[in-house]
Amino acid sequence: MTVHSPEPAKAGGDKRERILDAAEHVFAEHGFFAARVSEIAKRAGVADGTIYLYFKSKDDLLISLFESRMERVNAALAEAIAPIARPLDKLRTFIRAYLTLVAEQPSVAEVLTVELRQSSKFMKEYSNPRFAEFLRQLAAVIADGQAAGELDASVPAPLAARAIFGVLDELALSWLLQRGEKFDIVRAADWVGGLLIHGLAGGPGLQRSNA
């Protein structure tokens, strides 16, 4: 599973995308604090000052990178679950698709999972609409399962979505920070999906008959 790139932008948008692509790799390799704007500019093939024609600061560049990549992640997840009818299968697919993206796009995952937390502007000032969209999409899957009687309706779907993201985020963080041979995070997705679904299952015997 891959995150599809958007259509080429017009009016200098391709240069902006080159800067974002370069920033993704520089932030992932060196960390947000150690990353130099000059290195990002060099990788993007632009002059240092060009960065500031598109982004106000390094923090602004990081937030713009987050918005760009989360937009792609949300689109990829929506595409993955679209053909799935049964809510439990849709939830499993969502979990597996997200962790597959982590495995296939480690530099993106590094930025989204690790480096964003280094920006005080992101943590304190940014309203985070792309992440809110991610949570709404996941909550909608959970709500469908609750309406179908497959998931425990006593747990508010938005709260369950945040809890599930917490599990996925911690798993991704552990995988990214692990030294040496990494565990199979895609295979782990199936285990995590089963664990979460069994924990949310509503009604006696539902784990055996529907999981």
Mean pLDDT of 82-109: 95
* Predicted pLDDT at 199: 64
Kindly write down the DSSP assignment for every residue of 71-83, as one continuous string.
HHHHHHHHHHHTT
Give the count of domains, the chain.
2
Q: Does one domain contain both 47 and 95?
A: no
**Is residue 109 in some structural domain?**
yes
Residue 196: the pLDDT is 85
Same domain, 88 and 137: yes
Q: Are residues 92 and 194 in the same domain?
A: yes
Mean pLDDT of the chain: 87
Residue 1 lies in a domain: no
> Is residue 178 pLDDT above 50, yes or no?
yes
Give the domain CATH number at 20. Answer: 1.10.10.60
Per-residue model confidence (pLDDT) at position 203: 52
| Between 185 and 116, residue with greater pLDDT | 185
Q: Phi and psi dihedrals of 201, rounded to 5?
A: -60, 135
72 and 158 co-located in one domain:
yes
pLDDT at 8: 37
Judgement on whether residues 79 and 142 belong to the same structural domain of the protein: yes
Q: Is there a single domain that holds both residue 181 and residue 110?
A: yes
Q: Has residue 84 been placed in a domain?
A: yes
Task: Select from 77, 62, 64 the least CA-distant residue to 111.
Answer: 62
Question: Does 99 lie in the same domain as 170?
Answer: yes
pLDDT in tens, 148-173: 999 989 999 999 999 999 999 999 99
Q: Mean pLDDT throughout 115-120?
A: 82
pLDDT of residue 115: 87
Give domain status of residue 2, yes or no: no
Domain co-membership, 37 together with 74: no
Higher pLDDT, 184 or 205: 184
Indicate whether 118 and 46 sit together in one domain. Answer: no
Tell me the per-residue pLDDT of 47-81, one tens digit each, with 9 for 90 and over. 999 999 999 999 999 999 999 999 999 999 999 99
Tell me which of 55, 71, 94 is where a domain ends. Answer: 55
Confidence at residue 204, expressed as pLDDT on a 0 to 100 scale: 52
Query: Other CB atoms closer than 10 Å to residue 134's CB: what's the count?
Result: 18
Could you give phi then psi for residue 151, rounded to 5 degrees? Answer: -125, 150
List Cβ neighbours of 101 (8 Å cut-off, separation of 6 or more).
Answer: 1, 3, 73, 76, 77, 108, 109
Do 99 and 145 belong to one domain? yes
Pick from 102, 111, 107: nearest CA to 188: 102
> Is residue 117 located within the same domain as residue 170?
yes
> By residue range, what is the domain housing residue 175?
63-210
Query: In this structure, which amino acid lies at residue 30?
Result: H
Point out the least confidently predicted range of 79-88, 156-165, 175-184: 175-184
Please check whether residue 172 is in contact with residue 149, taking contact to mean a CB–CB distance below 8 angstroms.
no
